Amino acid sequence: MSLFKRSVVAEILSHAGVIFSSLIVIWLSVLLVRLLGQAAAGTIGADIVVGITAFSSITALPIILIVSLFIAILTTISRNYRESEMVVWFASGVSLYDWIRPVLRVAMPVALLIAVLTPVSSPWAYRHIEEYRQRYEQRSDFSKIAMAQFIETNAGRRVFFIEPSENSEHEMGKVFARVTEDPEWFSILMADHANFRTDGEKGERYIDLGPGSRYDMSPKTAQFRVSKFDSGTMRIEDKTGGASEDAIRAKAQEQLKARPFEALIEDNNPKSDAQLMWRLSLPWAALNMALLAIPLGSVNPRLGRSGDIIIAALVGLLYMNLLNMMRGWIGSEKVSFLLGFLGINGVIFLLALFLFWYKSRVKAPKDKSKPVLAAN
């Protein structure tokens, strides 16, 4: 490998590593904030946050790899222009087309990795995420209740808030519960303390409430009832015996993103074709973005260091949005699979070739030997 190719490959890899690490940190930060918010709201369990984060990171890897590769190539070429190193390369006989080979030395392994991730690893990760969520949905309200947190259960029809107990005789302190299971009535229960109880014979679970109050309101008739009680019982819905592991796994695979590659082909319907187009397009998108970065990187040095990042964001967002739009059109049968797959990716590939030609053409110098006619 020549000095030129070695230096280009080394610089692209160096930039790609830094960009990839930064994007992963940003992705994990945003994801964790969202998942912890869902855990606090009771949508998911706090014990499955780490698992969902790990599997979600696998699903995001193809896009992160594509963006990292594109920005790394773009910044490498634009730096060569800004620091006038490109002038030296051009003077030594290197053209813009000579950048293709070292760029592809980096882009091809990335595209192959994405080609493995999208049909194999991503569906596997999506399936595990959905299984996590299904198992949490199968849990009883009893296991979802946490102290000093508002917890929604039964699709939001029950909301609990339980204070920690200050008395060793009771498992829970003050209890607040909002119940909207009856469409005719909106109920709020408050108790000074409570205990969990399980029926040994039936296995049903209850909360035994201490002294408290119950408020019932009817939104339709504006009726309002208040009742006091010295003790009460609230049955906790138990779903643990609902679905088996096989049923959970089967339901998880019903999600398009979680379906194996072979199953999508066998489905032979527009929705599955749209998902196939997306998975097959990502490896091609990695190569297209890598090629696009070469002519796009030959920017005016006066743009500054932020110029190439702005271009990367605009082109990357446009390409990904076009792929998403085409996926929607295929799913709604507005466009055929082949036209959608070859159309958008082929157009971007042709755009890259056009930009190569446009950036590489050399204007012919004016012939000064011809006399210039003076204007009368």
Which residues neighbour 219 within 8 Å (Cβ) at sequence distance 6 or greater? 186
Residues of the chain short of pLDDT 70, as ranges, are: 1, 41-43, 84-87, 89-90, 93, 137-149, 152-156, 168-169, 199-205, 236-254, 299-309, 311-312, 361-376
Phi, psi for residue 135 in degrees, rounded to 5: -65, -40
Say whether 186 sits in a helix, a strand or coil: strand
User: CA-CA distance, 234 to 172, in Å (whole number)?
Assistant: 14
Q: What is the pLDDT of residue 261?
A: 83
52 Cβ partners below 8 Å, 6+ apart? 35, 44, 129, 132, 133
- Which DSSP symbol is given to 240? T
Please state, in angstroms and as integers, the Cα–Cα distance from residue 68 to each residue in 107, 216, 293, 316, 352, following that order. 11, 57, 11, 11, 18
Residue 59, CA atoms < 13 Å, CB-side half-sphere: 18
Report whether 45 contacts 135 (CB < 8 A): no
What are the domain boundaries of the chain? 3-138+248-360, 141-236
Q: What angle do CA 231, 236, 239 make, to 5 degrees?
A: 170
CA–CA gap between residue 304 and residue 324 (Å, rounded): 31
Which pairing describes strands 205-209 and 232-236: parallel, antiparallel, or unpaired? antiparallel
Model pLDDT, residue 145 = 59
CA dist 163 and 192 (Å) reads: 10
| Beta bridge pairs of residue 179 | 158, 187
Structure confidence at residue 376 (pLDDT): 41
Task: Tell me the residue type at 211.
Answer: P
| Residue 164, phi then psi, degrees to nearest 5 | -60, 145
Distance CA 185, CA 46 (A): 31
Which pair of structure tokens corresponds to residue 167? 């008395």
pLDDT per position as a tens digit, 86-110: 667 667 767 777 888 889 999 999 9
What pLDDT score was predicted for residue 240?
47
Nearest-angstrom CA–CA distance, 10 and 20: 15
pLDDT at 237: 57
